[in-house]
Amino acid sequence: MKPADISLTACSYTHVLEIISNKWTALVIYSLEEGTIRYGEIKKRIEGISQKMLTQTLRQLERDGLVTRKVTPSVPPIVDYTLTPLGKTLIPCMKMLKEWAAEHYPSVQQARVSYELSEENGEVRQLES
Amino acid sequence: MKPADISLTACSYTHVLEIISNKWTALVIYSLEEGTIRYGEIKKRIEGISQKMLTQTLRQLERDGLVTRKVTPSVPPIVDYTLTPLGKTLIPCMKMLKEWAAEHYPSVQQARVSYELSEENGEVRQLES
DNA sequence: CTCCTTACGCACCTTCAGGTTCGTAACCGA
DNA sequence: TCGGTTACGAACCTGAAGGTGCGTAAGGAG
């Protein structure tokens, strides 16, 4: 009835997801929840993240005003990262997502298994002849 | 101190985002919030989505147990989509994300602008010589 | 007889997020 | 003198997400 009332560029969902849906972003924010932390510490805490990806992710968060970067020019250098007040407003959202997953992700996994099974058994998907 | 306690594959965030962070997924779920709706209706409501992407997105949601697909074998065919109870549990999460964006996205945009400005003015980023 | 309709599948192409590797500054301890 | 340290930048490569266009069924309207 109402035609084209949902727009990708205008929709709020797109905006949030654009910020937090990068591969490592949520994990980096999570590692910052407890307060200020050094670059190297983040890297140690997050399993499998490369230096490049961590730097890239942090740069993006800094650009978006979600974290602050503080350089102490010693040698070797010390760089501390902290969530800004704006960044902290994300925490309740993230908590909610986390809780949803804890509660419902098993159901999703189960659904996927049964879906694959019914596919193998040649269930009707096609609009048949 | 605590080394590698955050893992990509084990973390709940990854799981939720894996489900809802595809380009069109959130918008499709949003279009289903009000109840059962036909394929063509969804397509009309979401600006710029192609047939292929809509089908792909719906297939994925169906596979994850978030929507049901009901085919009425008439000609031309009628296919109705509905959120499952599991799918409906996502709505509060989505609402929260939406509200966050409504409240805070302007700040993010502003932060981006000032970031670009300070870049142009050659701010110190490098660990200097 | 022909065209329009709905809801797809399939094949192909492009783009970009993400990953790997290498180089760097300059101090400190051995 | 030489390797280890920290926190990066730059160049390059790859795979997967997303986009475009074509084919299709069968009935009803004209």
What pLDDT digit, counting tens, does each position of B40-91 carry? 999 999 999 999 999 999 999 999 999 999 999 888 999 999 999 999 999 9
B119 or B45: which leads in pLDDT: B45
Percent of chain A surpassing pLDDT 90: 82
* pTM for the predicted model, two decimal places: 0.92
Mutation target among A58, A104, A112 for the B interface, most CBs of B within 10 A: A104
Query: What is residue B68's three-state secondary structure?
Result: strand
pLDDT number for residue B2? 59
Q: What CATH class does A12-88 carry?
A: mainly alpha
Nearest to B96 among A24, A93, A110 (CB): A93
Pairing of strands B46-47, A6-7: parallel
Closest CA to A86 of A27, A40, A20: A20
Mean pLDDT (chain A, rounded): 91
pLDDT at B129: 38
pLDDT-derived band at A121 (thresholds 50, 70, 90) equals confident
Closest residue (CA) to C1' of nucleotide D10 is A52
Question: How far is Cα of residue B55 from the mean position of the Cα atoms in its chain?
Answer: 15
pLDDT of res. A74: 87
Bases of chain D within 7 A of a CB of the protein: 4-11, 17-22, 25-27
Closest residue in B to A15 (Cα) is B101
Instruction: Choose from A54-58, A121-125, B9-13 the range with maximum mean pLDDT.
Output: A54-58
**Residue boundaries of the structural domains of chain A:** 12-88
Q: What is the pLDDT of residue A3?
A: 73
Q: Is there a cis peptide before residue B76, judged by omega within 30 degrees of 0?
A: yes
Residues 49-108 of B with CB under 8 A from A: 49, 62-66, 71, 73, 77, 86, 89-90, 92-94, 96-98, 100-105, 107-108
pLDDT at B127: 46
Spell out which residues of chain B touch residue A126, defining contact as CB-CB under 8 Å.
Answer: none
Strand A37-38: give its sheet, edge to edge.
A37-38, A78-83, A67-72
pLDDT score at A117: 87
Give dist(CA B123, CA B99) in Å, integer: 34
Over residues B106-112, mean pLDDT: 97
Q: Separation of CA A54 and C1' D13 in angstroms?
A: 19
